[in-house]
Structure 1
Amino acid sequence: MDMSEIHKAIKRGLSAFISEVPMTLSEWATEHFYLSAESSYVEKRWEAFPYQIGIMNCMSNDDITEVVVKKSARVGYTKMMLAAIGYFAEHKRRNQAIWQPTDDDSDDFVKTEVDPMLRDVKIMQRVFPEYLSRHRNNTLRQKTFLGSILHLRGGKAAKNYRRISVDVAHMDEVDGFDSDIEKEGSPVTLSRKRTEGATFPKQILGSTPKLRHFSLIESREQQAEKRYRFKVPCVHCGVVHEIRWGGKDAKYGFKWVNDDPETVVHVCADCGGAIAQNEFKVISAQGKWIDQDGGWIGNDGKFYNAHGEPIQPPRSVGFHVWTAYSPMTTWAQIVREFMSAQAKAKVGDKSELKTFVNTTLGETWEEEVEQTDSHALMARAEPFALRTLPMGCLVLTAGVDVQDNRFEVTVWGWGRGEEMWTVDYVVLEANPADERDWEKLDTYLETKFQHASGQMVAIEATGIDSGGHFTHQVYDFCRKRTAKRIYAIKGDSKQGSPVKGKASMQDVNWRGQIIKNGVKLWIVGTDTAKDLLHGRLQVLQNGPGKVHFSSDLPAEFYAQLTAEARVLQKTSTGEQYRWVKKSARNEVLDCTIYAMFAAHMLDLHRFTDKMWQKITDAVQPQTGDLFAAPIIVQQPPQDKPVLPPPEQIKPQQRRQIRPQGRTW
């Protein structure tokens, strides 16, 4: 046999033991990455901008588990993320997943970014030979490389986070995701779960921020162990400083003369010296990413403290970068965008100014939102005990939220004109996967509550959320209790959906087996119900529409009831108001909506005076129960004078006086 053939065979046999020379992502990209014609202004080899090097090296640093980039548009983040995908697949052979806000976003990303990258970055053909073929290893949802795999998913559905185990989890445009994915939690948390068990787990998050207090990317960036800003030395005083927009009253930042964008310069906050963009491009090569303590990141990917001493990398890092740092646009163009947005804002149209703040400055926009103050509601609490019904509270409904380790239940009482009272709020520890634990919920829902008249009142109807991990268990529980008016429900946040929507038959039992007679699944117009509740919470006068709170309720009840705000958002059909979570826990609000649905199932909102009077006579009759001790309940101040006793009213006056009770 020819010796050359023997050498080739030995080389092939030993190739599995070859170890790649370690490279940072910025080094790998400089050597291999390419900008494709379909998604770049200019088709060419990759050349990193100065601020991109530090971000990319943190992405490839195995000591860092989370990289958060709060950014504007036009800073090249998509290209950095694409380079990272190629790097982890070819250089480190690690499993990856990337989530986009929707399935359509994911498909477009694959077609316009991922596929051209796999075609044009030649070294990728070593690990992805099927890059030009129609193959099960090359689809819109999955790319199977030699030694690793890349999952590509939309982020709307909880199922898209399941059955995936990866080393690296990418999330693009995080603020475009729902804050709670089908009631299973934050998309950031769900994606992080997919890296548990990895030797070098990493989560890479990037997004243009949107609304303040509702921004996922801003929240993650603020929670990072170290937060970095790219600073350059001033050509006048030598002090390193951040390039900032400033403002009309600020002495630093962008300034221009006589509304002429071409005269724009950046003024140093320390010495007041001004530089033009061409000067900034020269000194930006000397810039560094500097944290809040004065530490910095070198272009070699190493970390240093404020004294220049090497230190261990932090576990999580946050970056903020905006358009002014990018050579892909001019400072004059940034000023033109601002002047145009400001002119529209002066006549009442703030949409362009909001876009400028989000996509040019890379900052969150402070939106005027509709929300209820939890402290104001708490201050309105009235001195009646939980688990008792004050006079006027006649019908009970309940809402149940099913969590992984508990049932949360809120019971509401109803009176004439849909006046509402909090009757009970409980958390039942349970494992909803265990059929026996549902007996706890069943037992509770059979509870009877004592009315101030001495009567005992049962829960008339209950709504149980079927979303989350225990859909079949909810169906099975409700199927066996249709006579008790216990309903399986699912929320629908579409604009204008009725509180009590349509029902559909479900035909799967507890064990996932098909059965002949399924249970009904009812659709609840959650945003409509929240609008209705929000309006009622503003009613201060006792009577129809008033919401009463017991002084026994904990502060957490009010925090969860007001955990969402109504904000204006862009949708496929234009701008619409949507209810958005501003804190993680909102179970009380959800349970209240489910109890409102149950009230609509009873048609309480359609009851006539005669129907209400019939219930009143049954629950709080004038004679009461002679054998029950009435509960003494202190009533809130009346809005109108209390009538004198009947014996003091003259016969001719009785026809002129209507009943003053605040009941049906």
Structure 2
Amino acid sequence: MRKYRVKPYKVPRWMVPAIEILRPRERVSVSVWAERNRVLPSGNAIPGPWRNSVTPYLVEIMDAFSDDTTEKIIFVKPTQVGGTSAMENALGSLIDQEPAPTMVVYPSDALAERTVEAKLEPMIRQCKALAEKYREHESKRLELKFQGMTVYLTGANSAADLSSTNIRNLFLDEVDKFPGATKKEADPVSLAIERTKTYFNRKIFLASTPTLKTGPIWKAKEEADAEKHYFVPCPHCGQFIELKFAQIKWPSKDDVPDQTERAEMATYVCQACGCIITDRDKAAMLQAGRWQAVRQTTTTPKSVAYWMNTLYSPFTRFSDIAREFMRSKDDPELLHNFVNSWLAEPWEDTKLKTNAEMVMERQTEVPAWSLPAWTKLLTGGIDVQENCLYWVIRAWGDFMTSQNVAHGQALSMAEVERVMNTEFSLPDGGKVMVNLALMDSGDQTDAVYEFCTMNMDWVRPCKGVQSLQGHYKISTVDKAGSRANGMQLVLVDGGKYKDMIAGRMRRPNGNGSWMVHKDCDLEYAEQVTAEHKITERAGGKEVQRWVLKSSHADNHYLDCEVYAAAAADVLEVRSLFLKNPDRAEEQAPKPEPPKPQPAPEENWIQQNENWF
């Protein structure tokens, strides 16, 4: 068979430009695109070509736009960490590499116009790849035309603009400053997101400094499939740590009276090894840092929230943060701004604050499993979890004086039964056992009812409810066919008991105080203070409620203490002193002398330590 040689086809020179145009472009991540193309104008902290090494924590946030599995990106941030620049880089990369209908929403139309003039148009002109695609003569003030796409810019106050035209990419900047929903329209965030639902490959980016826990950015963070925080290696021990405001230390006022001088001496103390970290260490730490999930509900999250505070900013020194706190701590408005804009935490107008240190200060000289001399009642509280049970036993005396005498975890209800049937000895030789315990029936309800039926001489099921007229109410189990049907069920208003516990915890040890046994453990102290009471706006009204200080905190021992207090109320603990009025003063423990108060700035940090 005859073989033919195929001569290579030589492309005419005139076709080369056309082929280059038709050749598929290499698609790169947003961070790579930014380093190749972005130029920051004068007026930025570091003008000139974009360098990922300056703010390495922004790389993963930007590159989430290149991840096909990620649909929604949430960035909860302080000011001055480059968040807006990261959003602009993502927008530029989309215009150049993946054109599609896009919208950017700002708090108002006026801000949208200023942003176009001050930031977006300079970015387009200084970036060759964008300038070549920009159709300036076809564009309007808030409608920028590019080759293959239009970028719509609008304010959150323009409801009509938010509810028309389908878009694939949506950027929402400073969402906590958006106006709220009205009777006629949904909230601006929901309206804007509605416009993306026809695209299966949509991208939604929300960024903001938080304001309140009920604000859009914090709610988006809490609802995200995954939440990530930035961890950096300590230059001394190598352990990856999260930078927290509570770890910034400075001399006391007694040692260094001048406030400015004290702030200048501020350093960071590693929570892992106790070594001092200075501003000079920060750049290398940031370079070696990494985002780590602190909460994740699925293996392939569609929505990812990134959270960081201003301690990570390469443009802010530890002393700047200390100085701003000292300036703000005594002025509620300034402190509000510091919490939001520097710590990237929601502001909470707290009415009752507790912390683990306060619990540890409530220790007495009476060891665990021993009873104070003034004991008249013993009650228990049991919180039922999926794989274990938490329990507490509390002694009660006149004037609601109380002390935790024991607490722990049990792996079975049989173990809890043994604990609650422990015989305690009073200092005068008398013997007592738990008079009444309340057991949470919200989880494993049938098993709890069965257990209470078998042990009804000392335990009752209970259920948490809100807005009771009193602290508790006696009801009955209504479960046809169950042995527990008709059994006493105690309804407990947990908020009222948390108010009581927090209020009495603030009293010095003594008459009417809420106390704990000697050598109390820190885990118990942290769980008992895992919640705080905040004021929120709901339906145009201010409401107060107890919420977790952080979404992943445990509060099982707090629930146990609530149940133990409710059990004491069922036993009429508030009238104990009336039963023996002559000995009430004699039996009441004498108050301890007040302890030295911390410096003002230390007091604020202590009361907010669990935020971190």
User: Residue 272 in 1 paired to residue 266 in 2?
Assistant: no
Q: Could you tell me which residue of structure 1 aligns to residue 344 of structure 2?
A: 362
Q: Could you tell me which residue of structure 1 aligns to residue 539 of structure 2?
A: 564
Q: Secondary structure at the match of 2:145?
A: strand
Question: In the alignment, residue 366 of structure 1 is paired with which amino acid?
Answer: E
Deviation at 1:205, TM superposition (A): 0.1
Q: Could you tell me which residue of structure 2 aligns to residue 315 of structure 1?
A: 302
Question: In the alignment, residue 41 of structure 1 is paired with which amino acid?
Answer: A
Q: Could you tell me which residue of structure 2 aligns to residue 64 of structure 1?
A: 70
Instruction: Name which of 288, 295, 298 aligns with 2:290.
Output: 288
Structure 1 portions without partners, runs of 5+: 247-252, 296-310, 381-561, 568-578, 581-664
Matches within 5 A, 1:164-243: 164-180=165-181, 183-212=184-213, 214-243=214-243
Please give the alpha-carbon distance, in whole angstroms, between the structure 2 residues aligned to 1:28 and 1:18. Answer: 18
Residues 267 and 319 in structure 2, CA contact (< 8 A), matched pair in contact too: no
Structure 1 residues 263 and 103: alpha-carbon distance in aligned structure 2, compared to 1, 3 A threshold: same
Q: Could you tell me which residue of structure 2 aligns to residue 7 of structure 1?
A: 13
Question: In the alignment, residue 268 of structure 2 is paired with which amino acid?
Answer: H
Please give the alpha-carbon distance, in whole angstroms, between the structure 2 residues aligned to 1:267 and 1:294. Answer: 29
Q: Could you tell me which residue of structure 1 aligns to residue 444 of structure 2?
A: none
Q: Secondary structure at the match of 2:210?
A: coil
Residues 106 and 152 in structure 1, CA contact (< 8 A), matched pair in contact too: yes
Question: In the alignment, residue 75 of structure 1 is paired with which amino acid?
Answer: V
| Aligned residue pairs, count | 349
Residues 179 and 216 in structure 1, CA contact (< 8 A), matched pair in contact too: no
Q: Could you tell me which residue of structure 1 aligns to residue 333 of structure 2?
A: 351
Instruction: Please identify, of 156-165 and 76-85, the stretch whose mean Cα deviation from structure 2 is larger.
Output: 156-165
Structure 1 residues 291 and 153: alpha-carbon distance in aligned structure 2, compared to 1, 3 A threshold: same
Question: In the alignment, residue 361 of structure 1 is paired with which amino acid?
Answer: L
Residues 212 and 218 in structure 2, CA contact (< 8 A), matched pair in contact too: no
User: Residue 46 in 1 paired to residue 62 in 2?
Assistant: no
Matches within 5 A, 1:321-340: 321-340=308-327
Residues 58 and 67 in structure 1, CA contact (< 8 A), matched pair in contact too: yes
Deviation at 1:323, TM superposition (A): 1.4
Structure 1 residues 174 and 293: alpha-carbon distance in aligned structure 2, compared to 1, 3 A threshold: closer
Deviation at 1:36, TM superposition (A): 1.4
Instruction: Name which of 35, 38, 41 aligns with 1:30.
Output: 35
Please give the alpha-carbon distance, in whole angstroms, between the structure 2 residues aligned to 1:66 and 1:20. Answer: 26
Please give the alpha-carbon distance, in whole angstroms, between the structure 1 residues aligned to 2:189 and 2:344. Answer: 20
Deviation at 1:215, TM superposition (A): 1.3
For residues 518-548 of structure 1, the C-alpha deviation after alignment (integer angstroms, 9 at most, x for no partner) is: xxxxxxxxxxxxxxxxxxxxxxxxxxxxxxx
Residues 156 and 181 in structure 1, CA contact (< 8 A), matched pair in contact too: no
Q: Could you tell me which residue of structure 2 aligns to residue 255 of structure 1?
A: 249
Structure 1 residues 181 and 117: alpha-carbon distance in aligned structure 2, compared to 1, 3 A threshold: farther
Q: Sequence identity of aligned pairs in percent?
A: 27
Q: Could you tell me which residue of structure 2 aligns to residue 452 of structure 1?
A: none
Deviation at 1:319, TM superposition (A): 0.6
Please give the alpha-carbon distance, in whole angstroms, between the structure 1 residues aligned to 2:333 and 2:541. Answer: 17
Please give the alpha-carbon distance, in whole angstroms, between the structure 2 residues aligned to 1:286 and 1:325. Answer: 12
Q: Secondary structure at the match of 2:139?
A: coil
Residues 172 and 206 in structure 2, CA contact (< 8 A), matched pair in contact too: yes
Please give the alpha-carbon distance, in whole angstroms, between the structure 1 residues aligned to 2:299 and 2:92. Answer: 26
Deviation at 1:179, TM superposition (A): 2.9
Deviation at 1:47, TM superposition (A): 1.1
Residues 72 and 208 in structure 1, CA contact (< 8 A), matched pair in contact too: yes
Please give the alpha-carbon distance, in whole angstroms, between the structure 2 residues aligned to 1:168 and 1:63. Answer: 15
Q: Secondary structure at the match of 1:292?
A: strand
Residues 322 and 361 in structure 1, CA contact (< 8 A), matched pair in contact too: yes
Q: Could you tell me which residue of structure 2 aligns to residue 162 of structure 1?
A: 163
Please give the alpha-carbon distance, in whole angstroms, between the structure 2 residues aligned to 1:186 and 1:9. Answer: 54
Question: In the alignment, residue 44 of structure 1 is paired with which amino acid?
Answer: G
Please give the alpha-carbon distance, in whole angstroms, between the structure 1 residues aligned to 2:178 and 2:468. Answer: 30
Structure 1 residues 123 and 375: alpha-carbon distance in aligned structure 2, compared to 1, 3 A threshold: same
Deviation at 1:101, TM superposition (A): 0.8
Question: In the alignment, residue 224 of structure 1 is paired with which amino acid?
Answer: A
Structure 2 portions without partners, runs of 5+: 1-8, 352-464, 472-536, 545-612
For residues 568-626 of structure 1, the C-alpha deviation after alignment (integer angstroms, 9 at most, x for no partner) is: xxxxxxxxxxx99xxxxxxxxxxxxxxxxxxxxxxxxxxxxxxxxxxxxxxxxxxxxxx
For residues 290-313 of structure 1, the C-alpha deviation after alignment (integer angstroms, 9 at most, x for no partner) is: 002699xxxxxxxxxxxxxxx975
User: Residue 121 in 1 paired to residue 117 in 2?
Assistant: no
Please give the alpha-carbon distance, in whole angstroms, between the structure 2 residues aligned to 1:378 and 1:205. Answer: 42
Please give the alpha-carbon distance, in whole angstroms, between the structure 1 residues aligned to 2:164 and 2:539. Answer: 31
For residues 427-480 of structure 1, the C-alpha deviation after alignment (integer angstroms, 9 at most, x for no partner) is: xxxxxxxxxxxxxxxxxxxxxxxxxxxxxxxxxxxxxxxxxxxxxxxxxxxxxx
Q: Could you tell me which residue of structure 2 aligns to residue 554 of structure 1?
A: none
Residues 89 and 95 in structure 1, CA contact (< 8 A), matched pair in contact too: no
Deviation at 1:237, TM superposition (A): 2.3
Please give the alpha-carbon distance, in whole angstroms, between the structure 1 residues aligned to 2:219 and 2:149. Answer: 31
Please give the alpha-carbon distance, in whole angstroms, between the structure 1 residues aligned to 2:235 and 2:61. Answer: 25
Please give the alpha-carbon distance, in whole angstroms, between the structure 2 residues aligned to 1:254 and 1:18. Answer: 54
Q: Could you tell me which residue of structure 2 aligns to residue 78 of structure 1?
A: 84
Structure 1 residues 200 and 261: alpha-carbon distance in aligned structure 2, compared to 1, 3 A threshold: same
Residues 133 and 147 in structure 2, CA contact (< 8 A), matched pair in contact too: yes
Q: Could you tell me which residue of structure 1 aligns to residue 26 of structure 2?
A: 21
Question: In the alignment, residue 149 of structure 1 is paired with which amino acid?
Answer: T
Q: Secondary structure at the match of 2:197?
A: coil
Please give the alpha-carbon distance, in whole angstroms, between the structure 2 residues aligned to 1:377 and 1:34. Answer: 61
For residues 40-74 of structure 1, the C-alpha deviation after alignment (integer angstroms, 9 at most, x for no partner) is: 13421111211111111113322210000000000
Structure 1 residues 127 and 378: alpha-carbon distance in aligned structure 2, compared to 1, 3 A threshold: farther
Matches within 5 A, 1:540-559: none
Deviation at 1:224, TM superposition (A): 0.9
Deviation at 1:103, TM superposition (A): 0.8
RMSD of the TM alignment (CA)? 2.9
Question: In the alignment, residue 23 of structure 1 is paired with which amino acid?
Answer: V
Residues 134 and 146 in structure 2, CA contact (< 8 A), matched pair in contact too: yes
Instruction: Please identify, of 263-272 and 280-289, the stretch whose mean Cα deviation from structure 2 is larger.
Output: 263-272
Q: Could you tell me which residue of structure 2 aligns to residue 245 of structure 1?
A: 245
Q: Secondary structure at the match of 2:266?
A: strand
Please give the alpha-carbon distance, in whole angstroms, between the structure 1 residues aligned to 2:197 and 2:21. Answer: 27
Provide TM-score, normalisation by structure 1. 0.49
Q: Secondary structure at the match of 1:108?
A: helix
Question: In the alignment, residue 154 of structure 2 is paired with which amino acid?
Answer: R
Please give the alpha-carbon distance, in whole angstroms, between the structure 2 residues aligned to 1:124 and 1:32. Answer: 9
Deviation at 1:563, TM superposition (A): 3.3
Question: In the alignment, residue 280 of structure 2 is paired with which amino acid?
Answer: N
Instruction: Name which of 66, 84, 95 aligns with 1:89.
Output: 95
Deviation at 1:168, TM superposition (A): 0.7
Deviation at 1:158, TM superposition (A): 1.6
Question: In the alignment, residue 145 of structure 2 is paired with which amino acid?
Answer: T
Please give the alpha-carbon distance, in whole angstroms, between the structure 1 residues aligned to 2:203 and 2:243. Answer: 29
Please give the alpha-carbon distance, in whole angstroms, between the structure 1 residues aligned to 2:81 and 2:218. Answer: 17
Residues 158 and 182 in structure 1, CA contact (< 8 A), matched pair in contact too: no
Please give the alpha-carbon distance, in whole angstroms, between the structure 2 residues aligned to 1:70 and 1:313. Answer: 21
Please give the alpha-carbon distance, in whole angstroms, between the structure 1 residues aligned to 2:21 and 2:182. Answer: 42
Q: Secondary structure at the match of 1:189?
A: helix
Structure 1 residues 293 and 320: alpha-carbon distance in aligned structure 2, compared to 1, 3 A threshold: closer
Please give the alpha-carbon distance, in whole angstroms, between the structure 1 residues aligned to 2:142 and 2:183. Answer: 21
Deviation at 1:82, TM superposition (A): 0.9
Q: Secondary structure at the match of 1:334?
A: helix
